[in-house]
Amino acid sequence: MNTQGNTYTFLYAAIMVVVVAALLSFAAMSLKPMQDKNVEVEKKQNILSTVNIGLDAGDQDNKMKYIEDLYAKYIVDSYIVNTKGEKVEGDAFTVDMSKELAKPNDERKLPVFVSEKDGNKNVILPLRGKGLWGPVWGYIALEADYSTIVGASFDHKSETPGLGAEINTTAFESQFVGKKIFDEQNKFVSVSIIKGGAPKGDIHGVDAISGGTITSNGVDAMIQECLGNYVTYFKQHQK
């Protein structure tokens, strides 16, 4: 039995494992700042898109800087409130909604982003929920009446292409523009995503995605829960 050969083989394998692990660790640490920056810029782009502010075709070469410039120009304020509508300390941009929604209702920190364009101010609110295969998320922007939707943007991690994944298409998102989350008695009713299509003239309903019922239901529940957390804040500002 060639014990010397076996020892050499095992030693060589062990050294290679250590070397490869070290290289992978170094690469991960080196790339992390860039990855974090990409996530930050993408989040800013999603917030801006909710109020119809985005990249022009000619701005792709300097995309990251351009988005950051747009964000600095049009997002004029951001802060955190609790479910009582009170402002609390913290950075709205860094709030992790998945963690906040896991907390008891009265302990949640709720980010608010304020945009201003052409003299019009809108509030932009983050959303987080569950789709068919994983998390779904997005943003909804409201007019100064804190009821009328200016725009909505949604995204997902792993919904089915051509079905649930359609939540982040213009065809689906554009339906939310002009819908209201309070009824005529100023009761919070959210927006309903209706299988088979919303009745004509329904100011609280949008069409569900054909073949994407579970994802549509997930987005419906997400909007209901997340915006529901802000109801006291909305009513304070409506006054």
Model pLDDT for residues 139-194, shown as the tens digit of each residue: 999 999 999 999 999 999 888 898 889 999 999 999 999 999 999 999 999 999 99
* Backbone phi, psi, residue 207, to 5°: -75, 135
Q: Is the pLDDT of residue 60 over 80?
A: no
The residue among 195, 234, 237 whose CA lies nearest residue 215 is 195
**What's the token pair of residue 22?**
């070290």
What's the pLDDT at 17? 78
27 or 45: whose pLDDT is higher? 45
- Contact between 171 and 154 (Cβ < 8 Å): no
Q: How far apart are CA 77 and CA 147, in angstroms?
A: 20
Report the distance separating Cα 190 and Cα 107, nearest Å: 22
d(CA 68, CA 155): 20
CA–CA distance, 140 with 135 (Å, rounded to integer)? 17
Q: Write the pLDDT tens digit of every residue in 5-44.
A: 667 777 777 787 777 777 767 666 765 666 677 879 899 9
pLDDT computed for residue 32 by the predictor: 67
Q: Which of 7-11, 61-65, 166-170, 232-236 has the weakest average pLDDT?
A: 7-11
